[in-house]
Amino acid sequence: MTALRLYNSLTKAKDVFAPIDPADVRMYVCGPTVYDRAHIGNARPVIVFDLVFRLLRHVYGADHVTYVRNITDVDDKINARAAERGVSIRQLTEETARGFHEDVAALGCLAPTHEPRATEFICRGEGELDMVKLVQRLIAGGHAYAAEGHVLFDVSSMPAYGRLARRSLDEMQAGARVEVAPYKKGAMDFVLWKPSTETEPGWDSPWGRGRPGWHLECSAMSAALLGEVFDIHGGGIDLIFPHHENEIAQSTCCFGHERMANVWMHNGFLQVEGEKMAKSAGNFVTIREVLADWPGDVARLAMFSAHYRQPINWTLKSLQEAERTLGQWFDAAASDAEARPAPDVLEALADDLNTPKMIAEIHRLKSEGARKALAGTLRFLGFRPDDYEAWKAASAPEPALPVSEIERLIDARIAARRERNFAEADRIRDELLAQGVALKDGAGGTSWEVVR
Ligand SMILES: Nc1ncnc2c1ncn2[C@@H]1O[C@H](COP(=O)(O)OP(=O)(O)OP(=O)(O)O)[C@@H](O)[C@H]1O
Ligand SMILES: [Zn+2]
């Protein structure tokens, strides 16, 4: 296989991927804030980075890749939603996290190696890195200051601030809103820690009872589980600024390395009629709603139809097309094969996850009748024929004839063929087709399906 090349948002180029330690390739992806059911736009990064995970496992060995995707279970949106619904915060976050796991498993995504919850990394034991210790180190290093129960990151203390997003501090400050919180020294300084009222969740800290800012969570969890510098950091393109820029500021200033992660990967937006699918825009469909109509594999394949950095339009047509394609692939694939991708498919993926090219290569495998390679490739990509078949059986329209009658006619046709009366056999086939029942002769006998 040619070298794996990944587009790096930090260098704005497709770089050859060289892990820090090939025996332990490390990737962190920002996970969901668990206050509501995820929409299919939120599924895009989960599916894209699942593919990266599978590819890395193939190249470096399944035991040599560590994938961390967090769960943000402390956030003001969570507090508000729990109050609105009259349930405890814990109940809301547990229930939402469970739903998220079901959704992404149905989309064919492997579980990450670790799935840390933010609340478990706020205060930990002595010698264990946590959010409070990270803030203390930033203050000691002159990168953060406490004011009125808050702790803020001082962006003026970091010359490289804005490097990932390619924005200069001067420009950002000039563009900042006029109304800046009074406890901030600079308009772009961001919150590391904030005070909690008695009713809000809070943790004791040197700055009083409070809770962490969102950006801080990922710096602490990634360093605790992957080390101070790791290989790949991923998320949606909307996270570049401020979230990822601020993660970099915290981690590099705390640990003193030039980088937090060597490669930064960002997926483009999933759109509806040219607009980003977003909760705030109200144009969203939940993963759960998609799965009510389609098998997870169809949504998964539809997601691969565009390159991950390009926007993708979510349409009924693309789902229908994915369904048709998948049905053809499964029909043509052998029923047993190891989960191994064909070399041409691997080549396409090694080129910054070129999934449109990958799909073209799979079509080629099918047309060449490479049944084993096709099956191995589909399994490697996380597609599951059994799920698809079960969905197909459950969603098949009712035939116009009773099943016993269809079976009687099939038997009659088999008998006719045995007597070499092919005219009669064909007549029976046509008669069934006229009733909307199509026959398919395969190695295992004759099967039938209702024509849609
Ligand atoms: N339409 C989209 N297309 C692709 N990725 C998206 C989309 N919307 C959100 N994401 C990604 O989903 C992940 C979770 O994001 P976040 O927690 O901000 O979701 P959210 O608050 O539900 O999003 P929104 O409010 O925009 O609907 C992030 O990696 C984010 O970039
Ligand atoms: Zn993050």
On whether both 255 and 306 belong to a single domain, the answer is no
My answer on whether 31 and 49 are in the same domain is yes
* Residue nearest to ligand 1 atom 16, measured at CA: 32
Q: Are residues 363 and 429 both part of a single domain?
A: no
Query: Measured from the CB, is residue 81 less than 6 Å from ligand 1?
Result: no
Structure token pair of residue 39: 């929409």
178 pLDDT band, cuts 50/70/90, is low
Rounded to an integer, the average pLDDT of 268-287 is 95
Q: Please report whether residue 88 resides in a domain.
A: yes
Q: What is the pLDDT of residues 278-321, one digit of tens each?
A: 988 999 999 999 999 999 999 999 999 999 999 999 999 999 99
* pLDDT tens track for 219-262: 999 999 999 999 999 999 999 999 999 999 999 999 999 999 99
Q: Are residues 364 and 422 in the same domain?
A: no
Q: Is 247 annotated as a binding residue?
A: yes
Q: Which domain holds residue 411?
A: 403-450
Tell me, yes or no, whether 46 and 111 share the same domain: yes
Where does the pLDDT of residue 177 fall: very low under 50, low under 70, confident under 90, or very high at 90 and above?
Answer: low
SS3 69: strand
- CA of 29 from ligand 2 middle (Å) equals 7
Mark whether 79 and 125 lie in a shared domain. Answer: yes
State in Å: Cα 92 to ligand 2 middle: 21
For the stretch 89-105, pLDDT in tens is 999 999 999 999 999 99
- Rounded to the nearest angstrom, the distance between the alpha carbon of 274 and the centre of ligand 2 is 26
348 and 414 belong to one structural domain: no
Quick one: 222 and 328 in the same domain? Answer: no
| pLDDT one-digit tens code per residue, 148-174 | 999 999 999 999 999 999 999 988 888
Contact 292, 102 (CB under 8 A): no
**Angle between the N-to-C axes of helices 76-85 and 89-106, in degrees from 0 to 180, rounded to the nearest 10:** 110
Q: Report the CATH number at residue 51.
A: 3.40.50.620
Q: Is the pLDDT of residue 385 over 70?
A: yes
**Does residue 31 have its Cβ closer than 6 Å to ligand 1?**
no
Dist. CA 267–CA 358, nearest whole Å: 17
Q: Flag whether 281 is in a domain.
A: no
100 in ligand 1 pocket by Cβ < 6 Å? no
Interface predicted TM-score of the whole assembly (ipTM), two decimals: 0.97
Whether residue 240 is found in the same domain as residue 339:
no
End-to-end CA gap in the chain: 42
Which of 348, 365, 395 is the last residue before a domain boundary? 395
The number of distinct structural domains making up the chain is 3
- pTM for this entry: 0.90
The verdict on whether residue 254 carries a ligand-binding annotation is: no
Task: Determine if ligand 1 sits within 6 Å of the CB of residue 56.
Answer: no
Contact 104, 303 (CB under 8 A): no
The helix/strand/coil state of 284 is coil
Residue 444 is predicted with a pLDDT of: 75
pLDDT digit string (tens) for 404-432?
A: 999 999 999 999 999 999 999 999 999 99
Mean per-residue pLDDT, 108-122 = 98
d(CA 233, CA 263): 6
**Residue 223, in any domain of the structure:** yes
Q: Identify whether 239 is part of a domain.
A: yes
Q: If you average pLDDT over every residue of the chain, what do you get?
A: 95
Residues 93 and 198 in one domain: yes
The sign of the dihedral angle between the CA atoms of 232, 236, 242, 243 is negative
* Residues in Cβ contact with 173 at an 8 Å cutoff, skipping those fewer than 6 apart: 186, 187, 188
Q: What separation in Å is there between the alpha carbon of 229 and the centre of ligand 1?
A: 25
**Do 413 and 362 share a structural domain?**
no
Q: Is 243 annotated as a binding residue?
A: yes
Give the residue among 28, 75, 82, 424 at the shortest CA–CA distance from 226. Answer: 28
pLDDT tens per residue across span 433-443:
998 899 988 87
What does DSSP say about strands 261-267 and 210-212: parallel, antiparallel, or unpaired?
unpaired
User: What is the predicted pLDDT for the residue at 276?
Assistant: 97
**Does residue 2 form part of some domain?**
no
> Domain boundary at 270, 302, 321, which?
270
Question: Which of 237, 270, 303 is a domain's end point?
Answer: 270
Same domain, 57 and 119: yes
Checking if the pLDDT of 268 tops 90, the result is: yes
Domain holding 316: CATH number? 1.20.120
| Ligand 1 pocket mutation pick from 30, 35, 42 by most atoms within 8 angstroms of CB | 42
Residue 352 has pLDDT above 90, yes or no: yes
Least confident of 1-10, 60-69, 362-371: 1-10
Q: HSE-up of 344 (CA within 13 Å, CB side)?
A: 14
